[in-house]
Structure 1
Amino acid sequence: MAAGTPPLLVLAAIWGLVGLVFLVWVAAWLASLLSGGDVGGFGAGWAFALFTGDTATAWPGTPTFLVVLLCLAFATGLFFAGRYAFRFVRGRFGDEGDPVRALNVGNKWVAELARPEAAEKAVRLRKHTLKGRTGKSLKQEEVGLVLGDIKLPRGRTGSRLFASWEDTILAYMAPRAGKTTGLAIPYVLDAPGPALATSNKGDVWSATARIRELRTGERVWLFDPQRITHQPQAFWWNPLGTVRTVEEAHRLAGHFVLTIDDDDSKKDMWGPAAKALISQLILAAALEGESLETVGEWLHDAKQPRPVDILFEHGFIAYAEALRETQNIVSETRDGIYTTARTAARCLDDPEIMEWVCPPKDGRELDEFNPREFVKSKQTLHLLSKSRSAAAPLIAAMTDAIFIAGEEGSEGMGGRLDPPLVAVLDEAANICKISDLPDLYSHLGSRGIIPVTILQSYRQGVRVWTENGMEAMWSAATVKVFGAGLDDHKIVDALSKLIGQHDVSTTSFSYGDGKGNHSVQLRRQEIMEGADIRRIEKGEALIFATAAQATLVKMCPWYKGKDSAAVSAAIKEAEQAITEGAQRRYGAGAGSTAVES
């Protein structure tokens, strides 16, 4: 060999030659058994006879063609076996630079999210409803909310991961990336207790309403003031029913003001004053047993004395004085405050929306929705509103009322709702703008309330909750899910840094001055660069869980689960109901709205 040849290559060549000679000897031995001939003992003498072509010494009485034939058969078999073994090892561990290999192969940090740890944790958290059970006996839907199956190299999958019954989930996914099929629908179906879902379409309701009703034996409520599903109204809810304090009125008013679409400067100028005005009128109406319809009437009369008198009568002196001061300030300022307030609460001018939050008229008998009873049941509530519509504040207010009722209910169960409440807040930045949702994330999970906030992007959340608010929600969310379609370069670059780096080896050969050199170097590089994160496939997601390494998973959409046939049938039935409802409303020939499956 040439000077400078690495010793390992020399050893490999020697042992490869020995292996080849042994292969020929095995073929000769087998040929001798088949033909009745003989074969010499394996050793240096036998190898010498082979290389010198002395077949009479190497395998006397054995046909040489049979030996050659068997050698070819062995070589072919070893070739295919080696290729299979190479592919098997490569498929199990992946290429060295493969992010799936770097993140998921040997990832022990996510063991807490998989069975059996996740099941044992579920038993500890649900001490009442799973009392006496063992982790092994739990069904999948009792363990937690399914995040997906760990993605392994070459298309394989590993353990299934679950969010626990104390986790808070924040998901970022572009439209048609699988958020409805892989998160919203499965989570509503598998909720062990009450389930809440917000949406700007009827898809989640269509897929889950009938199944939840049959599975739980309890009522499914549909709050659809804009008739997205064209279904008749079956109940009403009084947002003022629990308002008795300044804090409660102020909180309810905040849901309206957060929906103002004006530019930030105008919102900053008139927003706080408009919020104070709405809260004062809300408190006065609640104290007098009036409805939101009355609040709307008062907003159109800047000199209306009745709310001031009511606040004085009930001892809210400071609030009454503040309202009277607003009514008596210079007209330009007063008109700006009232105009902003009317814009924020424009749903109060829509009689079709008001039917859902005011006592029934014309002798209609409708049930009244009670949040406190809901959180202690296994009922389901679907809240529908078109994006950025007038009804959006009511969606936020109703969701917030259920969160408050859930916190109150948890105190009577040892501090945690059991079974837990699952709240899927799809299109949260458009139709469910709860101003302090980032702060709620810090403790809802510990109360047995599992929020799943689904956004299209980080920036979409910033527009509603500001940069500080989104940072707070990001920090408080114990499970973060990133799906396909992330196009914000700042976010993908930040995720790339959070995922971290790994060592990748590079091999180089050089030859010079009659010597060959072989070197292996290690270099650090990002496990997933921003471009890799942007290319996450539909139906897959990147999971960040507290104190765990980032993990790539294949999501578990409903159409691949055990309920696929039932959900398909439910969607078909719901589409027919939507079509019939649209025809009743608009006349024969009207079609249904599309239902995303």
Structure 2
Amino acid sequence: MNNDVKDPTTDTAGTWLLGGIAGAAVLIGGGAAVSLHLGSALSDTDQSVPANPADVISQLYTGDLVWPTGATVVATFFALVLIVLLVTTGLFWRRRRNRKTHIDDAARYMGSARDMKDLSEKAACSHAASIGTDFPDGTVPGIYLGRMVHGGMKLYSTVEMTSVDIWGPRSGKTTSRVVPAILSAFGVVVTTSNKRDVLDITRVFRARSGRVWVFDPQAVANEAPRFYWDPIAWVRSSAATAETAEALATVSLTKTEPEIDEDGDGFVDTAPDGDSDAPASDDTAGTVFGLDYVEEMGLTETEQHELSLRGGWELKASKLAHQFAISADGDAAKKTDFFDAMGEDLLTGLIITAAVAERPLPEIYRWAGKPENREALTILEDDGRFPDIAAGLRAHYNETPKTRSNIFATARKMVNCLKFRTIHPWVMKMSENDTRPSFDADAFAASDADSLYLLSKEDIGSAGPLVTAFTIAVSDALVARAVREGGRLSRPALFALDEAANVVRWDELPSLYSHYGSRGLMLMTILQSWSQGEACWGKEGMRKLFGAANIRIYGGGDVVDDDRFVENMSTAIGDHYEITGSVSQTSSGRTVSRQRSTVRTLPVKDIESWPRKRALVRVSGQRPVIVETTPWYEGPYAELVNALNKGTPLPEARLTPRQRTAQWWAKRGRTDDDSIDAEVDSVEITTSTDAPSLPLSTAGPSLRKASGLRYDPSDPTAPRAGQSTVSHRDSDAVRTQS
């Protein structure tokens, strides 16, 4: 309950009327006196002007004072000045009134600047410095939330905070939340979407500091597959999962030299004792259980191999199978709990088989479509390293024909997207001559400034499970890095999960939310409605996700079938006191009666009609506040982003001295060594056939000329929206480095 009291019955009209009359009288009398004083001097009129404005008016009326021409000039001048002031003031208040919305008055009964002090700019910087965050000078280490309507303070989430946003369609979530967060990020960025707008706005900007990866298997942005991410290679790799990374955090491991898994089979190719194929360090039994425990177990080297595989391959295979099972196609395929569970278990076995045989991911769909073909079972049993998985796979093949058919049909529907050949180039190497780079999650996590755009949409053959598995692989790599760095990323990573319920059906997300925040993963889960979250994670899962987030933001638009959510939010905001009253006239005189009553601060009708450029921010342990959001095109990066996307010269204020020098030389057509060195302030030329094309604006004219770069307008993979493409003779490419 807010104890501030509003008295709407107070009658101030009479006071304002009397004040206006008195002010006008003083203004007229004072103006006349000043005009006469100055005008008489200008007109050489010899008369004594009294100091009292009332006497001036009286003597002008009686004719004792003469109004000379000079007084008219002075009065006209002051009148014009007064008119300008009045017009300016009127325009100011009109503009302020136009910016004001019907919910702004409620802000004064909600949280204050004192309540939000932990989210101030100063607090965000202090917190980041206290935990050793590496952030650039002149930046605020956090995500900008908006300016408080009541109090005017700018609010920022800190680098350890996570958030859940609910913004209805066309309510400004992309322009006011997702894009500004990406533009202000100074670490790696992972963002998901079912539209191309975020990519088009931020891609060139992010390419200035790091490499940009765009995973677009459903042609949401018509991107060409310039790289591929092989989930089977991820299963086979020595990359730690979040679980094994957490286990590693509990033990102390000492190494003299780093161990290298060159062929990607999960084993170090040269063991310390000279034998080949020792288990890779990140998945060894010692890593998972601790070296002392391994010694006490008395495990042989072969047994350690088996244990490491189970701790690595099986865990990642089950994660991948689970994402297919809970995907949109998986939901549509569910018949009973039995067939759903058996289908997921079958997929796990087939994924392990593909990893053992080094087969591409689409092979799983072919195996699931042929229950009579026991090739997968033969491969796994002949390998001999996974006897339990092989036994489970044999049990599925040995079911009665009807049961087996249903299990395989369920699994086949779960991986339905793999039957589309347009997806294959994104998840596998297409030939022995395929020179495209394979995405390495560990290298991405170590980059500090790379960006990953994951695009998908709900449709036939949705790539949602691949996007989710991709997201999990990257998050596992970042958590593993955080563990190696002492428990927290020195440069926080931003996960802007736009359209999360449609694109990233990550059912473990509610359980991981608060923990990932403490690791330096700034999670932003953005939904269109509360019911959308319930459809993805269930009622309890959505409540858990909402409760685990440090910051909960409502941007409007969630009114369809969500009355319960809106009512709960109105209740959480609370009530305040108002004075109500009545006026009655009796024979004995006028009687005014007042009483205090409780009023809902933000009724449901006000929340349902939520205006644009406003957001309700709820922070754990504090009263809610209303903030005014800032779209990216009105923010500090607007000029620079527009210049980069259009290929126009960068704003002078944004250029470093070296860049300004390079621009000066470029205008004069110079390409000598000094100008080139000055221009390559943040651009590096590398001879690489696997680097993707980058926008032309990342390289200046003298740099392009000197290095042989040229613009190829016929390239069908060139970025849209006015972005050009840079290519180089002999497959050289431009790559920006942080």
Encode CA deviations 1:536-581: one digit per residue, 9 max, x unaligned: 222321111222221212222111123223433555579999x977
Partner of 1:281: 350
- Change over 3 Å in CA distance of 1:515–1:275 after alignment to 2: same
Moved more, 386-395 or 418-427: 386-395
Partner of 1:168: 162
Moved more, 351-360 or 462-471: 351-360
Partners of 1:478 and 1:546 within 8 A in 2: yes
Encode CA deviations 1:293-347: one digit per residue, 9 max, x unaligned: 2222221222343433454444433322222111111222221221111111012
From 438, 441, 445, the equivalent of 1:371 is 441
From 512, 522, 547, the equivalent of 2:596 is 522
- Change over 3 Å in CA distance of 1:534–1:16 after alignment to 2: closer
Displacement after TM superposition at 1:450 (Å): 1.0
Tell me the distance in 1 between the aligned counterparts of 2:475 and 2:172.
26
Partner of 2:582: 508
Tell me the distance in 1 between the aligned counterparts of 2:107 and 2:528.
28
From 231, 241, 258, the equivalent of 2:233 is 241
Tell me the distance in 2 between the aligned counterparts of 1:544 and 1:592.
38
For 1:87-106, what aligned pairs fall within 5 Å after superposition?
Answer: 99-103=105-109, 106=112
Tell me the distance in 2 between the aligned counterparts of 1:232 and 1:31.
77
For 1:121-520, what aligned pairs fall within 5 Å after superposition?
Answer: 121-125=127-131, 127=132, 129-130=134-135, 138-139=138-139, 142-152=140-150, 158-213=152-207, 215-216=208-209, 218-243=210-235, 244-245=309-310, 246-261=314-329, 262=331, 266=335, 268-312=337-381, 313-361=383-431, 363-377=433-447, 378-388=449-459, 389-487=461-559, 488-520=562-594
Partners of 1:347 and 1:354 within 8 A in 2: no
Partners of 1:37 and 1:61 within 8 A in 2: no
Encode CA deviations 1:105-161: one digit per residue, 9 max, x unaligned: 844211211221122122223x1524xx9xxx532xx32111112224xxxx82221
Partners of 1:32 and 1:62 within 8 A in 2: no
Partner of 1:44: none
Displacement after TM superposition at 1:40 (Å): 12
- Change over 3 Å in CA distance of 1:114–1:11 after alignment to 2: closer
Instruction: Count how many residue pairs are aligned between Structure 1 and Structure 2.
Output: 552
Tell me the distance in 1 between the aligned counterparts of 2:610 and 2:482.
39
Partners of 1:103 and 1:552 within 8 A in 2: no
Partners of 1:194 and 1:421 within 8 A in 2: yes
Q: Aligned letter for 1:383?
A: L
- Change over 3 Å in CA distance of 1:384–1:267 after alignment to 2: farther
Moved more, 450-459 or 100-109: 100-109
Moved more, 547-556 or 453-462: 547-556
Give SS of 2:583's match: strand
For 1:555-566, what aligned pairs fall within 5 Å after superposition?
Answer: 555-566=629-640
Q: Aligned letter for 2:143?
A: L
Partners of 2:334 and 2:340 within 8 A in 1: no
Q: Aligned letter for 1:543?
A: V
Displacement after TM superposition at 1:465 (Å): 0.9
- Change over 3 Å in CA distance of 1:580–1:454 after alignment to 2: farther
Tell me the distance in 1 between the aligned counterparts of 2:101 and 2:170.
30
Encode CA deviations 1:343-391: one digit per residue, 9 max, x unaligned: 1101221222122111231512011111111112111111112224431
Give SS of 1:453's match: strand
Displacement after TM superposition at 1:272 (Å): 1.6
State the TM-score, normalized to the length of structure 2. Answer: 0.65
Encode CA deviations 1:402-457: one digit per residue, 9 max, x unaligned: 11111111001111112111111112111211121111112111011111111111
Tell me the distance in 2 between the aligned counterparts of 1:108 and 1:473.
27
Q: Aligned letter for 2:108?
A: A
Query: Identical aligned pairs, as a percentage?
Result: 29
Partners of 2:218 and 2:456 within 8 A in 1: yes
Tell me the distance in 2 between the aligned counterparts of 1:428 and 1:594.
29
Q: Aligned letter for 1:237?
A: W
- Change over 3 Å in CA distance of 1:582–1:314 after alignment to 2: same
Give SS of 2:169's match: coil
Encode CA deviations 1:459-493: one digit per residue, 9 max, x unaligned: 11111111111011001111112113121211111
Partner of 1:3: none
Tell me the distance in 1 between the aligned counterparts of 2:27 and 2:224.
81
Partner of 2:125: 119
For 1:62-77, what aligned pairs fall within 5 Å after superposition?
Answer: none
Q: Aligned letter for 1:321?
A: A
Displacement after TM superposition at 1:498 (Å): 0.9
Displacement after TM superposition at 1:62 (Å): 7.6
Tell me the distance in 1 between the aligned counterparts of 2:17 and 2:221.
74
Give SS of 1:468's match: helix
- Change over 3 Å in CA distance of 1:267–1:541 after alignment to 2: farther
Partners of 1:104 and 1:151 within 8 A in 2: no
Tell me the distance in 2 between the aligned counterparts of 1:9 and 1:158.
29
Tell me the distance in 2 between the aligned counterparts of 1:26 and 1:302.
101
- Change over 3 Å in CA distance of 1:572–1:432 after alignment to 2: farther
Tell me the distance in 2 between the aligned counterparts of 1:341 and 1:525.
56
Tell me the distance in 2 between the aligned counterparts of 1:582 and 1:496.
51
Moved more, 293-302 or 248-257: 293-302
Q: Aligned letter for 2:356?
A: L
- Change over 3 Å in CA distance of 1:571–1:494 after alignment to 2: farther
Partners of 1:102 and 1:527 within 8 A in 2: no
- Change over 3 Å in CA distance of 1:198–1:106 after alignment to 2: closer
- Change over 3 Å in CA distance of 1:225–1:30 after alignment to 2: closer
Tell me the distance in 1 between the aligned counterparts of 2:205 and 2:603.
42
- Change over 3 Å in CA distance of 1:580–1:530 after alignment to 2: farther
Tell me the distance in 2 between the aligned counterparts of 1:9 and 1:145.
45
Tell me how large the CA RMSD over aligned residues is: 4.5
Q: Aligned letter for 1:129?
A: D
Give SS of 2:478's match: helix
Encode CA deviations 1:188-233: one digit per residue, 9 max, x unaligned: 22211111111122221111121211x31x2111111223333322
Tell me the distance in 2 between the aligned counterparts of 1:358 and 1:478.
39
Q: Aligned letter for 2:222?
A: H
Q: Aligned letter for 1:144?
A: G
Partners of 2:645 and 2:721 within 8 A in 1: no
Tell me the distance in 1 between the aligned counterparts of 2:16 and 2:198.
62
Partner of 1:548: 622
Tell me the distance in 2 between the aligned counterparts of 1:129 and 1:40.
68
Give SS of 1:542's match: strand
- Change over 3 Å in CA distance of 1:563–1:341 after alignment to 2: same
Partners of 1:113 and 1:163 within 8 A in 2: yes
Give SS of 1:556's match: coil
Tell me the distance in 2 between the aligned counterparts of 1:269 and 1:594.
53
Partners of 2:164 and 2:524 within 8 A in 1: yes
